[in-house]
Structures are given as structure tokens and as C-alpha cells.
Structure 1
Amino acid sequence: MANTPRAALNDLKRIVIKVGTSTLMYPTGGINLQRIEKLAFVLTDLRNQGKEVILVSSGAIGVGCHCLKLNERPTSIPQQQAVAAVGQSELMTLYSKFFSEYTQVVGQVLLTRDVLDYPESRENVTNTFQQLLAMGIIPIVNENDTVAIDELDHQTKFGDNDSLSALVAEITQADLLIMLSDIDGFYDKNPTIHDDARLFSTIHAITDELLLLAGGNGSRFGTGGMITKLKAADHVLNQQSQMVLANGVDPMIIFKIMTGEKVGTHFYRK
């Protein structure tokens, strides 16, 4: 075990952790406070170990729906942006509250895709991340949903936070991306439907065959599906980095990942 790639994960220093809406919200649409508190505990403990930690967090629209007592995610762009404005503020309040219990300072970084497309603004973002990490601060990153749009001549939207987390891992030159979802990893078929679904423990390259196995959207308050996670993994692999996809029902699983336990799906080049 000591010579396996998984066992070496604990030696990695700079880690991006991505949590989806399904990790932060109950299926009822309520906020999962105990999970957010556990996440704050785990990430602070990683910081205490000397790791550099970046959190990419979805959930602005989900939390906004909860605050505004909406049963479904709005369909129009203006409604989504208004709900996100409410939700992002509340989400950061929750993170600040729970992280402060462990005396860990956090900072908010909101991004749109065009910021990373232009060299000067990309450099400024990179410098901000470097400074936050140097100061021992955990950056909490989300897409700036209140202004992000998709237009033919000016694309500002990442589309999903799976893509965003892979890009954050790239610009920060992270050693590892841990993506927490509502599924145990990547399967050859949908495990909620097929009892004989097989979990891929390791994947070394994203092939057309694997992409065909993926598809569909996530929770009713989220946007991501398995195919976006595979594309994020492909991006990470092309940067000569690594990614682990695992179930975020218990954030303590991050400790298991770092100590080399065989959980989730580990993406790395041979």
C-alpha cells in the first residue's frame, strides 16, 4: 500500500476541495448545517497540518431558495441572479460562522470566466490566491452568479462549478482536486438503478467510452452531472495533477482520501 499513488496523497500540499449543492442542502431544500460545520472542521484541520486549502463551493442559488422559501430553482436568468445574490451572502455568513469556531479565517473569491480568459485579470486572480494562501486564509470560491451570463460574443459563465474547480486547480497549480458529490465515485452505470453497477477505483485517462457512460444532471437545486466531473478530471489530468471523486455525505471522508484509503475514484496519470 505504501507504494501506491493513493498512499502518497498525504504528501501533497496544495488541495482544492469542491462541494456541490447536494452536499450542502437536504433533498427537502433545507440547509445541511451539520455538514457545513463538519466541512469547516476538516478543512481547518488540514490547514493545521500545514496544507494549503482552497474551497470551491456551490450552493448560492440553493441557499437563496431556502432563504426565500422557494420550492424550485427559478428558471429565468434575472430570478436566478437575484436568488443567488441572497444565497451567496447567507452562504458566506454560514461559512464564516463555522470556520470562526475553529479560529480559521476565510476569504470570498467570486469569479466569472472572462476574468480567467484575459491575461492581466488572470494574473491578478492568481496573485490574490497566492497571497491568501500565504496568509493562512482559506479562499472560498464560487461563480459570480449575479453577473455571469452566456452570450455568443462575451462568455462569462463557467456553466458549472465542476469546471470552475478544475480551472482553480490549474491557476493555483494545486496538487490535488477533491470533488465531493452525492455519489461514491464514477460507475460504469447508474448505481441508483442498477445493482450490478461497478465503481471505477482508478482512471488514468478520460476516453470517449467513459464520456458515453456519463450524463444527466444532479440535484434539483444544482446544475452538475457526471459528465461535467469527467471533463473536469480531464482538465486536471492535462495539468499533470490528480483528482479524487467521492461521496460528500460525510466530509470526514477527506481524511480517508488524504491517508490513502481506497474510497471514491482516483484520477491520475500512470
Structure 2
Amino acid sequence: MYSRKDIKVKRLVIKIGTTSLTLDNGKLDLRKIDRLAWVISDLRNKGYEIILVSSGSIAVGAARLKLPERPRDIKGKQASSSVGQAILMQIYESMFTQYNQIVSQILITKDELSNNERIINARNTFFTLIEWSVIPIVNENDTISIEELGFSDNDSLSAYVAELIESDMLIILSDIDGLYDSDPRKNPDAKLIRSLYSIDGYIESMAGDSSSSLGTGGMATKIAAAKTLSEKGIHTVITSGKDPHIIYDILDGKDVGTFIFGKER
């Protein structure tokens, strides 16, 4: 078995969740977004090919609209996303521009990629943007998608993107340090699982739900995403999004988060 330090990464998908982008009041944490833009821009300058999958549009839209809580119904989610996505991209554009990086927006709906022609078109778009040194920022097109045909959460979306573009690694920045053997919010003695070479039913049973009212993806969705990618030879790291500089530690092979190894290609 190989170790983290043996992993060579060139193409990287980074997924950041809503709770890692927002303050407790639901508004955007601009300082953290600036740090994220700085880290990604620095890595891009070093030759990494990076795609950012960003949640947050619904929560940001709800905050701008001064709604009492994140909408639960489909029409409320779609309307909030329509407002929030514009705000989110405006901020990303501003943050990345100050570091001399070009970003693009890609909104994906699962049912739009239901045939080979559309899959090929999506791949060609990603690969052309990467060739042009553009950083694609991806989200689900919540304004038109419906739950029955959607990805349901951006953990699944990020796994789909990582597989689509043949990424070397997916980093999921979350509101928790990684996968624990029990719920760390309830059990102070819970232990972080540092490395996994396979995901079986026992591991899946450890994955609990997120306690956040802002995000949609719990640990179960992250483990499911990692399991899918592991079969394709793509590594996944689940770790805290509190400080985006942790991405450096991951790429340096340091022992942070939960590392799920992809099967050797």
C-alpha cells in the first residue's frame, strides 16, 4: 500500500460547502473566501489545474432576501439561488481578479448530462478552460433543477466533476475534520479515521448527518462520493474548511483530515 507522500497531484477538484463559506448569520465570510482565492491562485501559478465546486448560492440568496431561514420548498430554493448565485460569482470574480486569475462559471444540471454528446461537450468545455489557465467555478443550476433529477448535494456534484475531468484528487472542505468512528459532537472520545483504502458497509455506517441548517450534504454523502471516486482511481480528502491553507498540507502529504485512497490505476 502506498502512503499520502507517494501521491502526485496535477489536476485537482476542490469542493467547499456552504458552512465553510458563510458566517453563523448566513452571510458570506469574505475573509475566508479571500484566503481560498489566494491559495487557489498560488497553486494555479505553481502549475496545478484546479476546478472549484462551490456551494452557497441558496444560503447567500436567502440572507440577501432577509428570509428567516433557508427555504425548504423547491420554488423557494430556486428563487434564492437565482439571487445568491449572482452575488457569489461577483465576489469570486473580484477576489480572484486581485490575484490576476481568470474564473468562469459553470452551472450543471444532472439531467442535462444524460447522453454522451452532452458529456463530451461538458468535458471539452472544462478541458479548454484548463488549457486557457482559467479556474472554472462549478455549482448545480438550482434555479431550474428539481430534486428528482438533481445531484441533491454538491458532494455528489464534485465527485461527478472529478470523474468527468479525470482529476487526480478531490478535496472536500467541510464543517468537520473528517470521518470519525462516532459522532464527535456527541462523543468527546470519538477518533478521527486518518486513512481508508476501501469503503465497506461498516465504514458507511459511521457516516452521520451534518448538523448544519445551511448545508445539505452530511458525512454520508461525502463517503458515498469518495467511494465512487476510489473505484475510478481518484483520491478523496475530507477535511475542515475552517482555514483554506490546509490545502497546502494535503498536497504536501501531511496527515490531515480523512484520506480515502483511490485504487491504483
Q: 2:139 maps to what in 1? A: 142
One-letter amino acid of the structure 1 residue matched with residue 255 of structure 2: K
In the alignment, structure 2 segments of 5+ residues that lack a partner are: none
2-structure distance, mates of 1:139, 1:41? 15
2-structure distance, mates of 1:12, 1:212? 30
Residue 165 of structure 1 pairs with residue 158 of structure 2: yes
1-structure distance, mates of 2:152, 2:198? 23
Q: 2:213 maps to what in 1? A: 220
Aligned match of 1:6 in 4, 7, 30? 4
- Cα deviation code 1:122-141 (max 9, x no counterpart): 11000000000000000000
Residue 181 of structure 1 pairs with residue 181 of structure 2: no
What pairs with 1:90-109 in structure 2 (closer than 5 Å)? 90-109=87-106
Q: 2:257 maps to what in 1? A: 264
For 1:75, what is the secondary structure of its paired residue? coil
One-letter amino acid of the structure 1 residue matched with residue 174 of structure 2: S
Query: How far apart are residue 210 of structure 1 and its match?
Result: 1.2
2-structure distance, mates of 1:150, 1:255? 35
In the alignment, structure 1 segments of 5+ residues that lack a partner are: none
Query: How far apart are residue 4 of structure 1 and its match?
Result: 5.4
How many aligned residue pairs are there?
263
The answer as to whether partners of 1:218 and 1:224 remain within 8 angstroms in 2 is no
Large movers: runs of 4+ above 4 Å: none
What pairs with 1:51-200 in structure 2 (closer than 5 Å)? 51-151=48-148, 155=149, 157-200=150-193
For 1:114, what is the secondary structure of its paired residue? helix
2-structure distance, mates of 1:41, 1:150? 34
1-structure distance, mates of 2:68, 2:96? 29
- Cα deviation code 1:75-115 (max 9, x no counterpart): 22111100000000000001000000101000000001112
2-structure distance, mates of 1:4, 1:132? 32
Q: 2:21 maps to what in 1? A: 24
One-letter amino acid of the structure 2 residue matched with residue 245 of structure 1: I
2-structure distance, mates of 1:134, 1:54? 12
Aligned match of 1:232 in 218, 225, 249? 225
Query: How far apart are residue 30 of structure 1 and its match?
Result: 1.8
- Cα deviation code 1:195-254 (max 9, x no counterpart): 110111001111111111113234211110010000000011011110111100000000
2-structure distance, mates of 1:26, 1:8? 36
When normalised by structure 2's length, the TM-score is 0.96
CA RMSD of aligned residues (A): 1.3
- Cα deviation code 1:23-48 (max 9, x no counterpart): 00112212100010000000001101
- Cα deviation code 1:114-169 (max 9, x no counterpart): 12221111110000000000000000000000001134xxx2x0010000000000
> What's the % identity of the aligned pairs?
46
